[in-house]
Amino acid sequence: MQERFSFQTEAKQLLELMIHSVYSNRDIFLRELVSNASDALDKRRIELLAHPEYEEMEPGKKLSSPGIRLSRGDEGNILFVSDNGVGMNRDELTSYIGTIARSGTKEFLAALKERKEAASAEALIGQFGVGFYSSFMVADRVDVVTRRLGDEKGWRFSSPGDGTYTIEESEKEEPGTTVIVYLKKPDPEKNEKDYTDEWTIRDIIRKYSDFIAYPIVMATEKKIDGNTEVVDEVLNSGKAIWRRSEKDVSDEEYTEFYKHISGDWEPPLGHVTFSVEGGTEFRGLLFFPARAPFDLHFAPRREGVSLYIKNVFIMNDCKGLVPSWLRFIAGVVDSEDLPLNISREILQDNPHLRIIRKSLIRRVLSALKKMMGEDRTKYNGFWKEFGSVIKEGLVPAELSEKGNMDGILDVCLFPSLNAGDGYISLKEYVDSMKEGQKYIYYLTGRKLSVLRSSPLLERCRRMGWDVLLLADPVDEIFAPSLPSFEGKEFRSLEREDALEEVDLSASEGEKPEGAAGFLKEVLSDFVKDVRISFRLTNSPACLVNDREGGSFAMEQILRSMGQEVPPMKRIMEINPGHPVIKGLQRLLDSGEDMGSMKEYAFLLHDQCILAEGGHIEDPSLLANRIAVMLSRMLEAEKGPESTGL
Ligand code: ADP
Ligand code: MG
């Protein structure tokens, strides 16, 4: 009995997008179908490990050897893509093909709607990997006839791409899947290809699917001794790309392989190959994507590295091969030592895996260092996409694997006071340190633009010392525990002992001790101490931490996460050269009543918080104080004018 269904809403929207899209390259539908067939054959192998009895599909009849077959319909305009992989049962057919279960679908569609231009839509679709649906670019009907490994019945899915599909029971001799693509008539005016043409198919397979590990077979006509015979021909070389020597593999081949394993649309930014012998033996090929996937930060990401053992596919998303701070990397690792029947659970504790992981981290970091040295513009682009993820590797909890710290610091880039819109590396920072500068200075905060105008930077700006500006949320977590780089310790400019190596006091004039004492008394609920400091040049005052205190931004982060944090009392530093401080001192000297001056102290404290982009506890109180001050000032302005009349 035939049943009719509707595609899930999101699936329908994606489908429409595919059909109406302006793709320049429709060839990729075949790549996608072959890629699915290859995945299904990988799954067959895994399934047979658990159920060796499935090997015998009916009494006395064994499964044929794994492969993919392309064939053309007799009446033309039909292309069959068959595999004897794991197949699908009825439920799988509706849930894998009729719906999109992948997390982030809604976000993806919303992002697509926002971007009208075709080019970025393409990139987004690529990130999402719409796979099977791409066949609707070339077809006006697609059928899927499939039988699940271990089942006796088969099923036929059929859809004209209008948002509905039917499912009915169907004969199927062997487990596996045949996708039947009813091709649209190619329009020669639009340069559309005939996808039943032998040479068109050969070209596409060679270009996109050569590395597929299973034979892709097609019956072709051959002249043998003057007679035309039909013979099966294998169209792909099937050679694992990571087992070939790097100089024999073209960039295009690497790119196509990357697209196959990652589902990305864009070529990768770069890759690393490696072959390690002696002791633990393994090979591998890892890619750096060009762009962060849209869900890098908000969805639990799968890990992108697949595990092979002795050239046999074992699993995708192999946990533990790369640390989570390298989760954006896609690639393959092929081990010679792990046992073929290893399970995900046991794998975690395998000593070979730990050795491989360590080696991968080292290789990735040195490849990044190389990229940074060779093409800084490219590396800046990379850092912009993935830097915040890599920096997660500096968080103390991640550093349980010792020895990564230096390697990670080597490839880190930071915005800085002197770097303009660009970035500076730590090596560059240390090289540019001025005479007498002892520490690598940094300032953390929540927004780069606010950081740039922080009063704490004033003295450094005047002296020409550079300061790293750390505005990623993750920076706040690792910065306090950074040890040193090339023998130079890190120090936050928020600390009271920042710039201790500079003797600032000598050149400046009077010390307004009275003003300091007055402020300390009035502000005792808010600050621990008030000190005279020469670090400021333009601002009247600022707030700093004592040696032990955490950073102010950290306190804010904890609070925004809903944690109870006792308000941190900081130290107020005042600038003796500033008119505000001088004015306070003058009023005190002239015997002004302290009670009437309190408002100045509160205003000054709020002003410090505003300048660092902080949160004012009681904005309406501040607004009132400003209003009172303004009216007083305006009163004073009015005075001479009115008398002048
Ligand atoms: P993806 O391959 O990225 O998962 P696709 O749209 O290409 O997305 O395929 C969707 C799902 O349909 C696959 O994950 C798989 O479960 C199933 N599928 C597609 N083609 C086949 C096939 N030939 N054999 C078995 N399952 C398949
Ligand atoms: Mg696919």
Q: Whose CA is nearest to atom 5 of ligand 1?
A: 131
Which of 132, 174, 214 best tests ligand 1's pocket when mutated (most atoms within 8 Å of CB)? 132
Cα of 412 from ligand 1 centre, angstroms = 38
- Which H/E stretch holds residue 33? helix 28-50
Closest ligand to Cα 128: 1
Cα 76 → chain centroid: 45
Cα of 464 from ligand 2 centre, angstroms = 55
- The tally of CA atoms less than 13 A away on the side-chain side of residue 51 is 12
Atom from ligand 1 closest to the CA of residue 97: 12
Six-digit token string for 558: 């904890």
Which of 8, 30, 39 best tests ligand 1's pocket when mutated (most atoms within 8 Å of CB)? 39
β-pairing, 570-574 with 527-532?
A: parallel
Radius of gyration of the chain (CA): 33
Which of 96, 137, 306 best tests ligand 1's pocket when mutated (most atoms within 8 Å of CB)? 96
Read off the pLDDT band of 302 (50, 70, 90): low
Read off the pLDDT band of 364 (50, 70, 90): very high
Read off the pLDDT band of 645 (50, 70, 90): very low
Q: Whose CA is nearest to atom 8 of ligand 1?
A: 131
What is the rounded CA–CA span in Å between residue 417 and residue 451?
A: 9
What pLDDT, on a 0 to 100 scale, did the predictor assign at position 460?
Answer: 93
Cβ-contact 220, 233 below 8 angstroms = yes
Cα of 199 from ligand 2 centre, angstroms = 24
What pLDDT, on a 0 to 100 scale, did the predictor assign at position 120?
Answer: 53
Is the pLDDT at 157 greater than 70, yes or no? yes
Cα 540 → chain centroid: 42
Domains and CATH numbers, the chain: 3-234 (3.30.565.10), 241-369 (3.30.230.80)
Three-state secondary-structure class, residue 255: helix
Q: Whose CA is nearest to atom 10 of ligand 1?
A: 96
What pLDDT, on a 0 to 100 scale, did the predictor assign at position 475?
Answer: 92
What is the rounded CA–CA span in Å between residue 462 and residue 452?
A: 14
Is the pLDDT at 251 greater than 80, yes or no? yes
Cβ-contact 448, 487 below 8 angstroms = no
What is the rounded CA–CA span in Å between residue 256 and residue 266?
A: 10
Q: What is the mean pLDDT of residues 504-530?
A: 84
Cβ-contact 397, 336 below 8 angstroms = no
Burial class of residue 276 (count of CB atoms within 10 Å of its CB; 0-12, 13-18, 19+): middle
Is the pLDDT at 644 greater than 50, yes or no? no
DSSP alpha helix (H) spans, 543-593 = 552-560, 579-589
What is the rounded CA–CA span in Å between residue 325 and residue 619?
A: 40
Q: Whose CA is nearest to atom 9 of ligand 1?
A: 132
What pLDDT, on a 0 to 100 scale, did the predictor assign at position 600?
Answer: 92
Cβ-contact 318, 375 below 8 angstroms = no
Is the pLDDT at 130 greater than 70, yes or no? no
Cα of 129 from ligand 2 centre, angstroms = 7
Is the pLDDT at 298 greater than 80, yes or no? no
Is the pLDDT at 568 greater than 80, yes or no? no
What is the rounded CA–CA span in Å between residue 447 and residue 295?
A: 22
Cα of 155 from ligand 1 centre, angstroms = 15
Three-state secondary-structure class, residue 211: coil
Read off the pLDDT band of 11 (50, 70, 90): confident
- Specify the higher pLDDT residue, 505 or 476: 476
Q: Whose CA is nearest to atom 21 of ligand 1?
A: 36
What is the rounded CA–CA span in Å between residue 144 and residue 90?
A: 11
Q: Whose CA is nearest to atom 14 of ligand 1?
A: 96
Q: In Å, how far are 18, 138, 209, 215, 253 from 205, measured between CA atoms?
A: 22, 17, 5, 11, 11
Atom from ligand 1 closest to the CA of residue 179: 23
| Strand locations in 124-202 (E) | 139-147, 154-159, 164-170, 176-183
Is the pLDDT at 222 greater than 80, yes or no? yes
Is the pLDDT at 70 greater than 90, yes or no? yes
Q: Whose CA is nearest to atom 7 of ligand 1?
A: 131
Q: Whose CA is nearest to atom 18 of ligand 1?
A: 36
Three-state secondary-structure class, residue 550: coil
What is the rounded CA–CA span in Å between residue 308 and residue 457?
A: 52
What is the rounded CA–CA span in Å between residue 383 and residue 412?
A: 8
What pLDDT, on a 0 to 100 scale, did the predictor assign at position 391?
Answer: 94
What pLDDT, on a 0 to 100 scale, did the predictor assign at position 348?
Answer: 78
Using one digit for the tens of pLDDT, what is the confidence trace for 323-356? 989 999 999 999 998 887 777 777 878 889 989 9
What pLDDT, on a 0 to 100 scale, did the predictor assign at position 146?
Answer: 98
Is the pLDDT at 397 greater than 60, yes or no? yes
Cβ-contact 531, 516 below 8 angstroms = yes
Is the pLDDT at 381 greater than 80, yes or no? yes
Is the pLDDT at 126 greater than 90, yes or no? no
Read off the pLDDT band of 119 (50, 70, 90): low
Q: What is the mean pLDDT of residues 268-286?
A: 93
Atom from ligand 1 closest to the CA of residue 176: 24
Is the pLDDT at 252 greater than 50, yes or no? yes
Burial class of residue 255 (count of CB atoms within 10 Å of its CB; 0-12, 13-18, 19+): middle
Q: Which of 12-21, 431-440, 455-464, 554-563 has the lowest mean pLDDT?
A: 554-563
- Which amino acid is located at 294 in the chain? F
Cα of 129 from ligand 1 centre, angstroms = 11
Q: Mean pLDDT highest for which of 121-135, 311-325, 557-571, 599-613?
A: 599-613
- Which amino acid is located at 200 in the chain? T
Read off the pLDDT band of 549 (50, 70, 90): low
Cα of 231 from ligand 2 centre, angstroms = 29
Reported pTM: 0.74
Six-digit token string for 368: 């990044």
Cα of 344 from ligand 1 centre, angstroms = 22
Cα of 76 from ligand 2 centre, angstroms = 26
Cα of 137 from ligand 1 centre, angstroms = 17
Is the pLDDT at 215 greater than 60, yes or no? yes
Closest ligand to Cα 84: 1
Cβ-contact 511, 576 below 8 angstroms = yes
Mean pLDDT of the chain: 87
Cα of 88 from ligand 1 centre, angstroms = 9
Q: What residues are in contact with ligand 1 under a 6 Å CB criterion? A: 32, 36-37, 39-40, 83, 85-88, 96-97, 129, 131-132, 177, 263
Main-chain dihedrals φ then ψ at residue 114, nearest 5 degrees: -70, -30
